[in-house]
Chain A
Amino acid sequence: MPYTPENRERALRIIARYPERRSALLPLLHLAQDQDGWLSPDAMAEIAELLGIEPVEVLGVASFYTMYKRDRPRRLVVSVCTNVSCLVNGAGQVHEAVAEAFAADDEILVEEVECLAACDAAPVLQVNYEFHPVAGPEAAVALVEEYRRGDRTARGVSGGRALR
């Protein structure tokens, strides 16, 4: 989907911060994903137009980075770290339990990710890029369930929420 008028304004402000427009590509992709829950072909085409590059160049860059999701919109992205400090603290079981519990929910993506730089709290996961240490598999499932029910609200699904 195209940017809302408000987000298009933000996109123009972001572009203006850089000496060269193309540098705004990553932030603009975050902005689009936060708005729509994914990167639609339309959104990438609009970004290409804003930056004066080809849509395929946008796709080529977006596909390089793990945070950008291009298959379909999601409401929640659950990222479970399974790198070594989390691994030796039970992350394997946490990932398995969460992936299984929400496998049938199309709006939730459960993914295994590399080290999230929060190893003092291992095992950790993120829901829409908000950090949570979790005590174990049950606690992790219960936490994601709170987000699913809406008892906890998460902001955009790209961590780009902060962009002015």
Chain B
Amino acid sequence: MSVTETRIVTRRLREHPDAHTLERYLATGGYEALRRALQMTPDAVRDEQVTASGLRGRGGAGFGTGQKWSFLPAGVHPRYLVVNGDEGEPCTFKDHMLIEGDPHQIVEGAAIAAYAIGAHHAFCYVRGEFALGIERLERAVAEAYDAGFLGRDVCGSGYDLEMVVHPGAGAYVAGDETGLLSSLEGGRAMPRIKPPFPAVQGLYAAPTVVNNVETVATLPHIILMGGDAYARLGVGRSTGTRIFSVSGHVRRPGNYEVELGITFRDLIEGLAGGVRDGKRMKFFIPGGASSPWLLPDHLDEPLDMDHVTQNLRTMLGSGAVMVFDEDTDPALVAWRLARFFAHESCGKCTPCREGSDWLEKVLFRIAHGRGRPEDLDLMLSFGQTIVPDLDRTPFNQTTICALGPSTMSPVVSLDRWFRDEILERCGADRRRIPVVPA
């Protein structure tokens, strides 16, 4: 198989072990994109470059970046840019690599984004456990100030920008944009109901854009190659490249930056070397713990965000691909993910707080040989208090943030692909037990 990576965002850090230093960054074309962007009008950066590139957010939801920026109400100041480096979605490890490996790229990308939206204050919220990443990003910000890429009169353009690196402290739900803003304001990272969306009322109730680290790190390249040229990469409305974090039972786990549109097989077998130890694959999770699972039958499907959502009833989410071999117990994986969600639920919404705990307990007993015949249907039944219609993709929800519905992904996956196996283990016959209507 001859599939190769298309390294744009990861190129510098792959080629240079010292890619995190300002010297290397400048020697490899760094901050040239910022200079060019500052010669355009902010609207031109947004419309002719970023919107034209078709770039969609790499944080999970895949929302159009230029479009999101256009929601900021005109003339309302101050306004803020917040870069989301909280990366807590299980088995996603791309932002961690970008922050440690090429921090100036994030500083430059954030400066371009801030200029385009007219913000003079930007915050990079970095997961607290990334001690080295925080240190390197802090250093990069300090160097950028000294070199005139941040602070007063950036590159002599008359544009001012302050940038602050902010450490998180261990809470997955702080990755949700409204949870993140609450955390950045010095509160518990509890999400709040939308609307108002952050674009209208975000940090300190001012208009705010929240963008993922990888999204922001892509911006300098869009400016350098041109939005139209970037849009020619990829497939359909999934333009450009994305970094996929492949882990689990594969020969070569790692981050792979590929052009969107290649297949799961190209990624998992071609790049990550396929399942190790001569075993076969049992299932894989295509887009982080929040995404419903897929089977080896789906390996020839393309990495196309819309296709995966519309036709495969799951999502590319955060780009975390977890691969499990034939000896894996799917109930054990489902239970561990349920435990994760139960632990991380912030507790604000009753269906999520209580439901995630229930799911964890029922899955625990299934995974540990004490499942009851009705257990799978029991979970599908009470799960409808969180996700009223389990057949819809993406899930609808009764909760404030998307953590609630995510708790149902492992359960729905067991039901879709391993129903017989689970029922057999729980000693049930194959009849569906009538489900109480939600």
Bound-complex Cα distance A27 to B247 (A): 32
Chain B interface residue count, CB cutoff 8 Å, equals: 60
Indicate if the CB atoms of A22 and B186 lie closer than 8 Å. Answer: yes
Binds A, one of B55-63, B163-171, B350-358, B375-383: B163-171
Indicate if the CB atoms of A84 and B336 lie closer than 8 Å. Answer: yes
Instruction: Tell me if B248 is interfacial: C-beta within 8 Å of chain A.
Output: yes
Indicate if the CB atoms of B90 and A83 lie closer than 8 Å. Answer: yes
Q: Which residues of A contact B320 (CB under 8 A)?
A: 119
Q: Which residues of B contact A85 (CB under 8 A)?
A: 90-91, 247-248, 253, 322
Q: Which residues of A contact B340 (CB under 8 A)?
A: 83, 114-115
Q: Closest approach, in angstroms, between the C-beta of A17 and any C-beta of chain B?
A: 5
Q: Closest approach, in angstroms, between the C-beta of B311 and any C-beta of chain A?
A: 25
* Pick from A29, A119, A155: contact of B93, CB under 8 Å: A119
Q: Which residues of A contact B166 (CB under 8 A)?
A: 23, 26-27
Q: Which residues of A contact B249 (CB under 8 A)?
A: 88
Instruction: Tell me if A126 is interfacial: C-beta within 8 Å of chain B.
Output: yes
Q: Known contacts A120-B255, A161-B135; is A26 also within 8 Å of B167 by CB? A: yes
- Considering only CB atoms, which chain A residue lies closest to B89 in the complex? A115
* Pick from B129, B138, B171, B336: contact of A126, CB under 8 Å: B129
Q: Which residues of A contact B130 (CB under 8 A)?
A: 117, 159
Which residues of chain A from 61 to 114 have a CB within 8 Å of any chain B CB? Answer: 61, 64-68, 79, 82-85, 87-88, 113-114
Q: Which residues of B contact A51 (CB under 8 A)?
A: 186
Per-residue contact bits, chain B 134-164, to A (CB 8 Å; 1 contact, 0 not): 1100110010000000000000000000101
Indicate if the CB atoms of B336 and A87 lie closer than 8 Å. Answer: yes
Instruction: Tell me if B75 is interfacial: C-beta within 8 Å of chain A.
Output: no
Q: Closest approach, in angstroms, between the C-beta of B245 and any C-beta of chain A?
A: 7
Q: Closest approach, in angstroms, between the C-beta of B309 and any C-beta of chain A?
A: 23
Per-residue contact bits, chain B 217-254, to A (CB 8 Å; 1 contact, 0 not): 00000000000000000000000000001111100011
- Considering only CB atoms, which chain B residue lies closest to A164 in the complex? B138
Q: Known contacts A65-B171, A162-B138; is A60 also within 8 Å of B93 by CB? A: no
Per-residue contact bits, chain B 164-185, to A (CB 8 Å; 1 contact, 0 not): 1011111110000000000111
Per-residue contact bits, chain B 68-93, to A (CB 8 Å; 1 contact, 0 not): 00000000001000000001111111
Q: Known contacts A24-B186, A114-B90, A114-B343; is A84 also within 8 Å of B248 by CB? A: yes
Indicate if the CB atoms of B172 and A20 lie closer than 8 Å. Answer: no
Q: Closest approach, in angstroms, between the C-beta of A29 and any C-beta of chain B?
A: 7
* Pick from B167, B245, B246, B333: contact of A30, CB under 8 Å: B167
* Pick from A17, A82, A88, A159: contact of B167, CB under 8 Å: A159
- Considering only CB atoms, which chain A residue lies closest to B94 in the complex? A117
* Pick from B87, B135, B171: contact of A64, CB under 8 Å: B171
Bound-complex Cα distance A29 to B167 (A): 10
Q: Which residues of B contact A24 (CB under 8 A)?
A: 186
Which residues of chain A from 11 to 48 have a CB within 8 Å of any chain B CB? Answer: 17-20, 22-27, 29-30
Q: Known contacts A83-B90, A118-B96; is A67 also within 8 Å of B170 by CB? A: yes
Q: Which residues of B contact A68 (CB under 8 A)?
A: 169-170
A-B contact count (CB 8 A): 162
* Pick from B127, B169, B328, B346: contact of A29, CB under 8 Å: B169
Q: Known contacts A68-B169, A85-B247; is A30 also within 8 Å of B128 by CB? A: yes
Bound-complex Cα distance A26 to B91 (A): 25
Indicate if the CB atoms of B128 and A83 lie closer than 8 Å. Answer: no
Q: Which residues of B contact A161 (CB under 8 A)?
A: 131, 135
Instruction: Tell me if A135 is interfacial: C-beta within 8 Å of chain B.
Output: no
Q: Known contacts A26-B167, A61-B188, A114-B90; is A122 also within 8 Å of B253 by CB? A: yes
Q: Known contacts A26-B168, A30-B167, A163-B138; is A115 also within 8 Å of B132 by CB? A: no
- Considering only CB atoms, which chain B residue lies closest to A122 in the complex? B247
Instruction: Tell me if B418 is interfacial: C-beta within 8 Å of chain A.
Output: no
* Pick from B93, B127, B324, B336: contact of A120, CB under 8 Å: B93
Q: Known contacts A84-B322, A130-B131, A131-B132; is A60 also within 8 Å of B188 by CB? A: yes
Instruction: Tell me if B344 is interfacial: C-beta within 8 Å of chain A.
Output: yes
Indicate if the CB atoms of A159 and B185 lie closer than 8 Å. Answer: no
Bound-complex Cα distance A64 to B254 (A): 32
Q: Closest approach, in angstroms, between the C-beta of B262 and any C-beta of chain A?
A: 19
Q: Closest approach, in angstroms, between the C-beta of B431 and any C-beta of chain A?
A: 31
Per-residue contact bits, chain A 142-157, to B (CB 8 Å; 1 contact, 0 not): 0000000000000100
Instruction: Tell me if A116 is interfacial: C-beta within 8 Å of chain B.
Output: yes
Indicate if the CB atoms of B92 and A117 lie closer than 8 Å. Answer: yes
* Pick from A61, A82, A114, A121: contact of B186, CB under 8 Å: A61
Which residues of chain A from 124 to 140 have a CB within 8 Å of any chain B CB? Answer: 126, 128-131
Indicate if the CB atoms of A88 and B186 lie closer than 8 Å. Answer: no
Q: Closest approach, in angstroms, between the C-beta of A147 and any C-beta of chain B?
A: 15
Q: Known contacts A66-B170, A159-B167; is A120 also within 8 Å of B188 by CB? A: no
Indicate if the CB atoms of B167 and A160 lie closer than 8 Å. Answer: yes
Which residues of chain B from 107 to 133 have a CB within 8 Å of any chain A CB? Answer: 121, 127-132
* Pick from A22, A26, A116: contact of B129, CB under 8 Å: A116
Question: Can you list 7 A-B pairs, Cβ within 8 angstroms, ordered by A?
Answer: A61-B187, A65-B171, A85-B91, A115-B88, A115-B90, A120-B246, A158-B128
**Given A51-B186, A115-B92, list of 17 further CB < 8 A pairs?**
A20-B186, A25-B187, A26-B169, A27-B167, A30-B128, A30-B169, A65-B171, A66-B169, A67-B129, A68-B169, A113-B170, A114-B340, A117-B93, A118-B93, A126-B129, A128-B131, A160-B128
